Amino acid sequence: MARTVSVSISLQSQPHRHRHLPSAAKHHHHPFLRFPKRNHCNLSFSVSASHSSSSSSSSSVPNPLQTGRFLTNEELENLEFLGNYSYHQELESGLLWVRLMREEEMDMTVTLLSESFAESMMMATGYVKLLEFLVKNYLIERRAMMPHSATLLGIYRENGEEDFELAGTVELTFDKKGANANPPTPTPPKNSPYICNMAVRKSLRRRGIGWHLLKAGEELITKMSSSREVYLHCRIIDEGPFDMYIKAGYSIVKTDSILTLLTLQRRRHLMRKELPDSENASELDTGNEQPTSSV
């Protein structure tokens, strides 16, 4: 199972520095990436021709992204940029690659999130299938909101291994059009970027994967949104993620009332961070001193 750092679906280590890998170094030996057989699905990952950890748009997208609605030219350009975005990080234990979730990867993402929610809410494993149904419907709805929102996947390869596996996921909202209709409380501003539903597979925690999912999300937000105030939620009981967010520069804006407990919900902090401008996005990397946490 995996642990959820932040849940917004309406269901009520010490890594090395982040470096921009040249195209040949990143992709020459891995034209296709695949999950090992032990995972829920065995998929092949074709690597897009990105040229840095934050890819620029190219003239075409190898696998066109479908949203099921009419898009303006600007939205099409942003959608193409999302499809080409890529963030790489060498960790002490392996290589992490963060990019947009593709349609064929939805089922395994659903499983990861459902197991996370079941764990965080201390639900019986028998409820996981019900959660999977609800989470899949949610992800389908959120996918239709692209390019105003995005779900990123963290794909990880252990040192000495050939196969990559799904390690984690995080959801981003870039603007008001992508805002969740029923966000958790305390309610974040709808016109500001928002980070939620971050989860890391239980067997891969304490390797810095959660930290770099957060960093990749922040980096992408600086390129997709004009707003520099980003918000997220953290449950009061989640001390590890809370320490990570504080280390990353987030501060508490508001905390749920104790009356929230009457609704059988855990109390949450609403946290905020001011991101640097896109051209200064390198400031998002704070070096090697990363917090020890469960993500």
Question: What is the per-residue pLDDT for 6?
Answer: 52
Angle formed by the axes of helices 73-84 and 209-224, nearest 10°: 160
Question: What is the per-residue pLDDT for 283?
Answer: 60
Question: What is the per-residue pLDDT for 233?
Answer: 98
The stretch 231-254 carries a mean pLDDT of 98
The stretch 116-126 carries a mean pLDDT of 85
- Residue 179 CA, distance from chain mean position: 16
The tokens for 226 are: 């004009």
Q: How far apart are CA 196 and CA 231, in angstroms?
A: 9
| Domains annotated on the chain, with CATH | 2-24+31-226 (3.40.630.30)
State pLDDT tens for residues 25-52.
Answer: 333 333 334 444 344 444 334 444 333 3
- Residue 267 confidence (pLDDT) above 60: yes
State pLDDT tens for residues 122-169.
Answer: 888 788 889 999 999 999 999 999 999 999 999 999 999 999 999 999
> What pTM did the predictor assign?
0.79
Residues with catalytic function? 245
Q: Rounded mean pLDDT of the chain?
A: 81
